[in-house]
Every structure is written in structure tokens, then in C-alpha cells.
Chain A
Amino acid sequence: MHLEKKWLFVLAVLAALGASAADAAAQEPTFITSNTLFAVVESNGALVRGNGINFSVRNGLGSYTVQFLQTTAGCAIQASGGFTGSTGAPPPTEVTVRRTTNKRNVLVNTQNAGGVLVDSAFHLVLNCAKGAA
């Protein structure tokens, strides 16, 4: 087989680029990362601190909406009842979460140990496979 010099040059360039890409792939970390966002919200709906949050608001008794800076689709959503500060012992609290028709929102409901809606501060965490608009 006879190849002209110019095409040998192209093959050499492509081979070099391929090796470079393979090197980059080999250097990728072997752990799985996720996009993690969180909100720590007061019982009146005020956002105390967070990461990747647009706003939080109290909708009504024991009902809150937290809007993130990205879609919540495909994310694991977890929440715990508690206090936002560093004093006191929170009362037993049950927390439920779900997405809403607004793709960036999470609805949080807080109840007492008897399952009755009560206002409560909470910590909300999203673990998402990737960042998205």
C-alpha cells in the first residue's frame, strides 16, 4: 500500500489527538460525583443558608416551597426536620418532599409526630447527576 506523505501526516496528527484524548480519559477520577445543592430554611420560610438556591417561602401551615437555580428533575431529594442554628433540641418532626410543576421547585411539608401539619425549620438537600438549566 502506498500512501502519499501528506496523508501520512494527517494520520499522524489524528493518532496524536487520539492518544491525547485517551490520556485525558485515563486521568478522569474513578469516583462518581454529583451536583449537590442545599437549603436550610427557618420555620417562617426564610432562607438561612444554602447552595444553589433562588428562594424559599412559606406557603401555609407546614408547607414550604424552595426554588433552586437548576432543575430538580433526576435529583434525589432529602430533608430532615431540625433547627437552623446551634442551640436547643428540636421536637420530633416528620418531613416529606416532592417536586412541583415548576421544574426548579421542591415542595416541603412538615408535621409533628402525630402527622399534623406544623411549621418547622428543615434542612433540604438535592443530589443531582449533573448541572442543568
Chain B
Amino acid sequence: MTQHVKAWLAPLALALLVGVTLTAAAAEAQSPTLITSTTLYASVKANGTLASGNGVVSILTAGTGNYVVVFNRNVRDCAYEGTIGSSATSGAVNTGEITVVGAAIDVNGVFVTTDDSNGVSAGRPFMLSVYCS
């Protein structure tokens, strides 16, 4: 091996080592073992109007404390999570209970019921999230 080639061995080895390390780190960073879901959501006022949302097409009301939130995709295979609450920046939110179920009238819809703390149907503002795998 010539002296010239020997002189390049150390720099080449160092460059190779740094390159392999950085490449491995980048590969690890780009390959998280995440379980992802598609998320749709709606913040709905007690009167059934949309305050804000993602993927919401319409909201139907069907009597006191009954709402159907219609999204832009089929949500039959999804999980629904509802919480009574308001996106308003002031005012008290009345306490109560909320239930969720797929809407019979539309595969894109979630039927939401809200009640007061005694279990009596009552209009309440709510946040609805829909998670689809």
C-alpha cells in the first residue's frame, strides 16, 4: 500500500463512521412505531350550530338534547368521544351527561344525546371527536 493511500485511510474511516451514525439516527427518527388514527371533530353549541370543526358537513337537531353530527366520511367503524363543554371564552357550562352512537339515518353521522345531571334530556354544548383506524 502506498504512503499516499495510507494517508487517506484515517479521514475516510472518520467520514464513514460519522455518515453511518447520522444515517442510522435519521432512520430511527423517521420510523416511529406509531398507531395512527384519522381524527374528525366538532365543537357544537347547545342550539346545534357548529362553533368549529374538522370534516363536519352538517348538524341536525331532533328534539331537546338530541343532535346528529354528519361528517364527510363513513364513521361506522370509528370510535366516538363526546364531552360536554364549550369553545366560548366566557360563561359557565351547565353540567350534564353525554352519550354517543352511530346515527341510524346516515352512515356519516354520530347521534349525540345530552342530559342534565339528573338524566333528563337537556341541550348542552359539546365537543365530539371521531377516531377512525
Contacts and interface: CB of A to CB of B under 8 A. Distances in A.
B17 to A, nearest CB: 11
A36 interface: yes
Given A38-B131, A52-B35, A86-B103, A24 B26 contact: yes
B133 interface: yes
A44 interface: no
Interface in B115-133: 115, 117-119, 129, 131, 133
B116 to A, nearest CB: 9
Interface residues of B, number: 44
Given A37-B35, A89-B111, A9 B11 contact: yes
A82 B99 contact: yes
Contacts of B98: 80-81
Contact of A17 (B7, B18, B107, B131): B18
B110 to A, nearest CB: 9
Contact of A51 (B18, B35, B66, B80): B35
